[in-house]
Chain A
Amino acid sequence: MDNIAGQKSSLAWATNISVVALVLLWLIPTVGLLVSSLRERDQISESGWWKAPFPVELTARGRTGTQAAPDGDAFVVTGNIYDDEEARTYFPDGGGDVVAFGTRGVDPTEFAAGTTADLGDGESLTVNADGTYRWVTPEDPGDRGQRVYFAAQSPPEFTLGNYRQVLTADNMDRAFVNTLTVTIPATVIPILIAAFAAYALAWMDFPGRGLLIALVVGLLVVPLQLALVPMLNLHNRIGIGQSFMGIWFAHTAFGMPLAVYLIRNYMAGLPRDIIESARVDGATDFELFVRIVLPLSLPALAAFSIFQFLWTWNDLLVAKVFLPSDDASKVMTVKIADDLLGSRGGDWGILATAAFVSIAVPIAVFFAMQRFFVRGLLAGSVK
């Protein structure tokens, strides 16, 4: 309908190109995170993730050996720089081609690989691309080899090491379990409560119904922040304190307006005939709800569960307030925001990996259940 004759192809081209650009723009940040989480940590700080498929130039240092062979009035030490223990620590998986070398820390890449560097006093050093070197010195080196700085290409490396570390150390595994522990009850419990209330608001007649619906709509936008202090005080007074119990209650309540609103909208849209005829047949409201309305409303229940799951999984605010701040009960968002970003701000590999671990589950749920999610969104805001 949009395609006016004669303008079709150029417009289609423009549309395709703009959408490609938009999608790329939207995807690039996430791709960057994923790529970074799979890289060696040394490489992350040496080159941007967009250069991940290419070799990285790393600067390293080592010492030559001391096994000198006399050659005329000089001594010659030969060997491979990668045999040196110190140099090897920079390249745990074997070194790549040496690009340049030097003998002074201030200028570690003074000489190109393969050339012979004149170090003065008849001393000279050659380092080849494969790491072999030849050091000529007028004096017996004794037990101290020559200091060598060199830059080498490190091949692009991808590793699951970051994931191994994140999932086994740093209490991140604990945080993962904690997040699950918060999320599942907080998703399951509100559904039934909300479904009953939604049925009453959709299909039962009683004074004050309109007012209650208006109240629910109003509560949809009440800022959560308002509830934090009074409810935490209340939890403390009745002995729940900061605990999983408390956060389950809190999430249940904070998700309730959306649950009631969404499910009511859906139930109100069910065909009136079905409900009227069941009533005529003598079904009580309870039977009608359990046998007919609830099964028919499954899509709305699913939509709400996805919302609530994503919301509780991704929540930082409620977890910070209603859960204790000790390591044993931190959820992933708190862990990342407070621990990883705070004390280890520079460890990009761990940051990227932790972030990816925390977003992987919601993204999987999202893609698996996208249909329900979209349907829920639409029921919640378009009529």
Chain B
Amino acid sequence: MPVILQGIVTILIGVGGCVAYFYVSNYVLDRFIFPAKGENIGRNINRANAVRPWLFLFPAIFVLGLYLVYPVVGSFVRSLYGRDPEVFVGLGNYTQLFGSETFQIAFLNNLGWVIVVPAASTFIGLVAAQLTDKLSWGSFAKSMIFMPMAISFVGASLIWKFVYANDAEIGLINAIRAAMGFDDPIDVLQIPFWNNLFLMVILIWIQTGFAMVILAAALRGIPDETIEAAILDGANPWQLFFRIKVPQIMPTILVVWTTITVLVLKVFDIVYTMTGGNFDTEILPSYMMDFMFRDDGRATAIAFVIMIVVLPVMFWNIRQARREMR
């Protein structure tokens, strides 16, 4: 297989190239540019140490700059042009988008996803974390709930096709309906409004494990004294959980919440594989894929709208990170 060979060569070149780059650039810096000897030894060592961080950082900064910083600008610029990259349309793509019905549906649906999925995942994750905390088989239970994290969105969608299928002999939901006496199978993915929720369930199923694992660690980190004190004061288990534990892990809950929110805004796979955006289930990332390869101007405009929606989360994250570093 020539492609495999190409892959192996790439690994060798990639890793070997990195090692060579870091080694040689350091060597050159220390030996030739600012040698730690001769009359300027002190000054040279200082200068070498001032340059070295940038040697270490250069490859990472280069790829980050090229693939993530430049596109923010590049996408915005491209979104000002029409399908034909030569024709400047200003904000035409945006006004067209906001006027189009599909975009409005996608935007509203996306809003629904952003509200429901993080809330449900975090809540169920929190409950699961608390319930499994003291169980003897808790770690096994956690593994099982956590497992969907390893499954691709495409794989997960297929798994759920076997739940939603429009056939009482394949889809679990219709089988349950049939058992309850409804004869006609329904396609749950075609029921307006509710179909969005059925799609969200798939992502909640995947993300709950993530929330659970992190919140379980946070619950373990709560100082025992506060809990003991609450018990001595006569708190019942509910009060203990909602009044004592939850407030103490609130920062972690927020981190989990925002992480899932950001993820929700990127996922197009589920809608793409389950409904293809039909039956009013379009969301922004899947809507963008409709234009990908067809109309770069519109595609980048949608991407930029997603970026703007993410922006508050980004600032919040940066603020948190800076505060933690003091």
Contacts and interface: CB of A to CB of B under 8 A. Distances in A.
Interface of A: 1-4, 7, 11, 15-16, 18-19, 22-23, 26-30, 32-33, 36, 44-50, 177-178, 180-181, 184-185, 188-189, 192-194, 196-197, 199-201, 204-206, 209-210, 212-231, 233-234, 244-245, 248-250, 252-254, 256-257, 260, 284-286, 289, 310, 313-317, 320-321, 329, 333, 336-337, 341, 348, 351-352, 354-355, 358-359, 362-363, 365-367, 370, 374, 377-378, 381-383
A248 B49 CA distance: 32
B35 to A, nearest CB: 13
Contact of A22 (B131, B299, B302, B314): B131
B271 to A, nearest CB: 11
A239 to B, nearest CB: 16
A223 B266 contact: yes
Nearest to A381: B255
B16 to A, nearest CB: 10
B3 A48 contact: no
B218 A382 contact: yes
Interface in B28-66: 30, 49-50, 52-54, 56-57, 59-61, 63-64, 66
B119 interface: no
A74 B172 CA distance: 52
Chain A at the B interface: mostly helix, strand, loop or mixed? helix
A378 B162 CA distance: 33
A269 B275 CA distance: 46
A257 B69 CA distance: 11
Contact of A32 (B172, B236, B304): B172
Given A45-B169, A185-B11, A223-B266, A26 B63 contact: no
Given A205-B53, A212-B61, A214-B318, 13 more contacts: A15-B135, A22-B141, A29-B205, A181-B4, A192-B19, A200-B57, A229-B74, A250-B67, A317-B266, A317-B289, A333-B152, A378-B217, A381-B259
A26 B145 contact: yes
B324 interface: yes
A26 B201 CA distance: 11
B78 interface: yes
Contacts of A189: 10-11, 14-15, 18
